[in-house]
C-alpha cells in the first residue's frame, strides 16, 4: 500500500509540474530569416519587423532551433520582434504555445 501511495504522489507531482509548461529563452525572429536572427540586435529588430509586416510569420529561435508560434500566441510576441525574450509555454513538435513572454536579460 505504501508503494502505491508513493507512486501516486510522484505521478501527481509530475502531472502538476507539466501543467505549468516550460520556460525557454531565445529570440523572436520571422519565418523568412529564421535562425539568422538567433541574437537580438537593433538590426534584427528592424529586419524582423519589416519581414513580419511583409507577411512573414513570427517564430521563436532557441538554442539553434526554430519554433513556429501557434496562432493564438502570435499577438503576445508582436511587441518583441527581434528581442531576446523568455517565454513560458508548451512545445508540441515544432510549434510553441506561449502563455507569457517577457524581455530576457
- For residues 80 and 60, what is the distance between their CA atoms, to the nearest angstrom? 11
Q: For 5-64, write each residue's pLDDT tens digit.
A: 545 555 554 544 444 579 999 999 999 999 998 899 999 999 999 999 999 999 999 999
What pairs with residue 86 in β-bridges? Answer: 25, 102
How do the domains of the chain map onto residue ranges?
A: 21-103
What pLDDT digit, counting tens, does each position of 53-66 carry? 999 999 999 999 99
- What is the CATH code of the structural domain delimited by 21-103? 2.40.50
Distance separating alpha carbons of residues 94 and 67, to the nearest angstrom:
5
What are the backbone dihedrals phi and psi of residue 85, each rounded to the nearest 5 degrees, phi first?
Answer: -135, 165
Amino acid at each position: 500500500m505504501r508503494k502505491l501511495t508513493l507512486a501516486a504522489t510522484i505521478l501527481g507531482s509530475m502531472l502538476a509540474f507539466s501543467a505549468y509548461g516550460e520556460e525557454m529563452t531565445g529570440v523572436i525572429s520571422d519565418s523568412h530569416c529564421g535562425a539568422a536572427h538567433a541574437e537580438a540586435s537593433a538590426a534584427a529588430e528592424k529586419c524582423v519587423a519589416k519581414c513580419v509586416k511583409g507577411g512573414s510569420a513570427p517564430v521563436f529561435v532557441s538554442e539553434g532551433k526554430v519554433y513556429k508560434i501557434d496562432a493564438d500566441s502570435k499577438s503576445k510576441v508582436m511587441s518583441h520582434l527581434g528581442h531576446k525574450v523568455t517565454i513560458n509555454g508548451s512545445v508540441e513538435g515544432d510549434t510553441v504555445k506561449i502563455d507569457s513572454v517577457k524581455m530576457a536579460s
